């Protein structure tokens, strides 16, 4: 039971939460001033502290140095007593069990700092063992430079001990450095502690400054989490220390941990500014779903084109010119770094229209290899009668030629000098001469089927939408069954589907994988809170369309937590209901 902690916003593994003390605190945050340590059982037997709602009480504990054998830890382990005030259990990353407390402090945290792999392993091990709606405390390690990475990994609570100690030792901390105070002829900060003349600045002031710098960085981190943009910040911030960059990359290898916690859609744009962007969950997931779930349903030739800066691509000037030449005679697939390949049906699907990249025309080898691999997997899964590559030389053509050779294909290239020059556009039109146009109906049907594949799984589009009609204008397509009952609507902002109650029933009856949330005997209106959730499918992600069902209600809505989190949590909004019917 976590009565005293609640998660309000999520950004991957990072969260903005509320420590519900008598004076509530928004996390990630420093908690030194409200932390009370009942002490170690190594030095003395401890009475259970009284505790109250004004502070966070660390229950009596036995900490173990990193590397203590498991059997030793187990024989001395302390079970947290059941208390009715905000409490913290001290655990070792090598032997964690859920203790029913509001927060957990990692005892061996010092031994993992400075080592990317060890830190990531420790955070992931603890987070996976404790309930999602509990807070994780890292004591004695936070600095202005590392705290963004720690929060990104999933740590919620910190103290200023390390920053203050370093200050009294004459180390002046900033988000990018740890200076020796005597080396600074000028202070690179204007916080209250740094206002006075340089010659009067003491080590005590330095400790004050370090604390300010840490608090200010935490405020930026909270803002970034609320915006869903901590990763973009971290790709820059982690550069200031090699081990932090290593930790960010190690965390990217923890696919299961990060993927489960990353929403399938959001408003936040992705800044593709570093090579590490390619390894983000959002990018890898899109590539994975396009090459394992999506299936091309058109009989026409494939036309590969470069992406455009304007999104969705079809609204850009270059793509309008391509369209004038193609005239629905080819299936358009855009090639792009960092997304990979984007079939025309998925051009609005998150993150295909939600990223900005650095435009230099130069491709790195990592980008070329990533897009080649995605294109190769795409072409291994989808067969076309003919492939036309309407791509410029820089990078794009190199990628297509690699895949052409690997798969032994015969690709027609149509760009003379530039993709939008007259000669190139004439070549493109000529390459498609004699091909039949597909209809608007076919286009719309295939679009909503592609969205269902992408969102729900391989084959879902055919399972769900075999006999349909579509109405309204692209991209706000409405899906109706053969009796004209509305089943779903395309959401152009994120390129997803939102179901009606009839659509949800149809989905449940179909062979397509469902995402179900089982609730108690009540009729939900607005939000379903976590305590009302009995069970939820594990593959539900934030932003997923979900069917909500209980003894008294049948409803459809959108997930605000991932599946396991809904089932585990005792506080917070699990999903938002769009339509509900009493049973």
| Residue ranges that bind Zn ion, judged by CB under 5 A | 189, 191, 193-194, 209
Would you say 184 or 191 has its CB closer to Zn ion?
A: 191
Using CA atoms of 543, 278, 116, 62 in order, give the dihedral in degrees to the nearest 10.
Answer: 10
Round to whole Å and give the CA distance between 67 and 189: 40
Would you say 198 or 473 has its CB closer to Zn ion?
A: 198
Would you say 24 or 196 has its CB closer to Zn ion?
A: 196
Evaluate whether 232 touches 273 at the Cβ level (below 8 Å): yes
Q: Which single residue is written with the structure tokens 């004209």?
A: 484
CB of 206 to Zn ion, least distance (A): 9
Q: Which single residue is written with the structure tokens 């939600």?
A: 354
For the residues of 198-252, what is the DSSP string, one character each? GGG--HHHHHHHHHHHHHHHHHHHHHHHHHT-HHHHHHHHGGGSHHHHHHHHHHH
Would you say 129 or 191 has its CB closer to Zn ion?
A: 191
Would you say 188 or 521 has its CB closer to Zn ion?
A: 188
Would you say 41 or 189 has its CB closer to Zn ion?
A: 189
CB of 170 to Zn ion, least distance (A): 15
| CA 205 vs CA 173, 218, 325: distances in Å | 12, 20, 68
Three-class secondary structure assignment of 315-355 = HCHHHHHHHHHHCCCCEEEEEECCCEEEEHHHCCCCCCCCE
Round to whole Å and give the CA distance between 453 and 455: 6
Round to whole Å and give the CA distance between 382 and 387: 11
User: What would the two tokens of residue 409 be?
Assistant: 């294909």
The residue length of the chain stands at 583
* Kind plus residue range of the DSSP H or E element containing 537: none
CB of 223 to Zn ion, least distance (A): 19
CB of 382 to Zn ion, least distance (A): 57
Evaluate whether 264 touches 288 at the Cβ level (below 8 Å): no
Residue 505 burial (10 A CB sphere; 0-12, 13-18, 19+): middle
CB of 212 to Zn ion, least distance (A): 5
Would you say 209 or 311 has its CB closer to Zn ion?
A: 209
CB of 191 to Zn ion, least distance (A): 3
Round to whole Å and give the CA distance between 50 and 47: 9
**Beta bridge partner(s), residue 438:** none
Would you say 168 or 327 has its CB closer to Zn ion?
A: 168
Would you say 191 or 534 has its CB closer to Zn ion?
A: 191
CB of 86 to Zn ion, least distance (A): 31
Would you say 196 or 551 has its CB closer to Zn ion?
A: 196
Q: Which single residue is written with the structure tokens 């969950």?
A: 281
CB of 194 to Zn ion, least distance (A): 3
Evaluate whether 560 touches 577 at the Cβ level (below 8 Å): no
Would you say 21 or 194 has its CB closer to Zn ion?
A: 194
Continuous H helices in 408-500: 422-431, 440-456, 460-464
**Beta bridge partner(s), residue 11:** 14
CB of 189 to Zn ion, least distance (A): 3
- Grouping H, G, I as helix, E, B as strand and the rest as coil, residue 554 is strand
CB of 148 to Zn ion, least distance (A): 18
CB of 243 to Zn ion, least distance (A): 25
Using CA atoms of 151, 152, 153, 154 in order, give the dihedral in degrees to the nearest 10.
Answer: 50
């Amino acid at each position: 039971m976590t009565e005293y902690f609640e998660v309000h916003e999520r950004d991957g593994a990072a969260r903005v939460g509320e420590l519900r003390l008598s004076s509530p605190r928004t996390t990630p945050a420093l908690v030194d001033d409200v932390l009370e340590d009942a002490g170690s059982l190594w030095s003395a037997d401890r009475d259970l502290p009284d505790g109250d709602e004004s502070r966070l009480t660390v229950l009596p504990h036995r900490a173990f140095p990193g590397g203590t054998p498991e059997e030793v830890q187990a024989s001395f382990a302390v079970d947290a007593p059941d208390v009715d005030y905000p409490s913290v259990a001290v655990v070792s990353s090598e032997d964690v069990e859920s203790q029913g407390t509001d927060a957990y402090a990692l005892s061996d945290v010092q031994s993992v700092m400075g080592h990317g792999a060890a830190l990531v392993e420790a955070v992931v091990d603890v987070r996976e063992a404790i309930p999602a709606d509990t807070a994780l405390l890292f004591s004695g390690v936070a600095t202005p430079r590392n705290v963004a990475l720690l929060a990104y990994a999933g740590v919620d609570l910190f103290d200023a001990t390390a920053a203050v100690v370093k200050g009294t030792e004459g180390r002046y901390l900033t988000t990018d450095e740890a200076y020796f105070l005597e080396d600074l002829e000028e202070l690179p900060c204007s916080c209250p502690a740094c206002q006075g003349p340089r010659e009067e600045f003491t080590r005590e002031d330095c400790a004050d400054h370090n604390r300010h710098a840490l608090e200010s960085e935490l405020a930026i981190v909270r803002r970034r989490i609320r915006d869903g943009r901590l990763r973009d910040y971290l790709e820059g911030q982690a550069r200031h220390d090699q081990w932090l960059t290593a930790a960010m990359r190690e965390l990217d290898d923890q696919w299961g941990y990060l993927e489960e916690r990353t929403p399938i859609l959001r408003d936040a744009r992705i800044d593709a500014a570093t090579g590490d962007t390619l390894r983000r969950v959002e990018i890898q997931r899109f590539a994975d779903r396009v090459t394992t779930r999506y299936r091309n349903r058109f009989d026409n030739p494939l036309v590969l084109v470069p992406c455009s800066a304007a999104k969705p691509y079809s609204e850009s000037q270059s793509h309008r010119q391509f369209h004038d030449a193609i005239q629905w005679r080819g299936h358009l697939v855009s090639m792009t770094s960092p997304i990979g390949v984007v079939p025309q049906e998925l051009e609005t699907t998150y993150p295909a229209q939600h990223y900005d990249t650095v435009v230099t025309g130069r491709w790195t080898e990592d980008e070329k290899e990533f897009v080649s691999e995605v294109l190769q997997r795409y072409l291994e899964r989808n067969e076309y009668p003919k492939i036309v590559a309407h791509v410029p030389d820089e990078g794009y053509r190199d990628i297509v030629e690699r895949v052409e050779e690997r798969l032994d294909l015969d690709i027609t290239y149509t760009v003379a000098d530039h993709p939008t020059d007259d000669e190139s556009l004439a070549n493109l039109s000529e390459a498609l001469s004699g091909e039949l146009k597909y209809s608007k109906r076919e286009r719309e049907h295939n679009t909503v089927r592609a969205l269902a594949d992408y969102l729900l799984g391989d084959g879902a589009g055919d399972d769900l939408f075999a006999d349909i009609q579509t109405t309204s204008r692209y991209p706000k397509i409405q899906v109706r069954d053969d009796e004209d009952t509305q089943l779903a609507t395309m959401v152009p902002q994120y390129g997803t589907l939102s179901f009606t109650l009839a659509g949800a029933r149809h989905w449940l009856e179909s062979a397509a994988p469902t995402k179900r949330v089982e609730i108690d005997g009540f009729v939900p209106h607005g939000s379903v809170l976590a305590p009302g959730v009995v069970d939820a499918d594990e593959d539900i992600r934030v932003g997923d369309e979900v069917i909500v069902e209980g003894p008294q209600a049948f409803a459809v809505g959108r997930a605000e937590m991932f599946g396991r989190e809904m089932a585990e949590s005792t506080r917070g909004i699990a999903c938002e209901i769009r339509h509900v019917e009493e049973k």
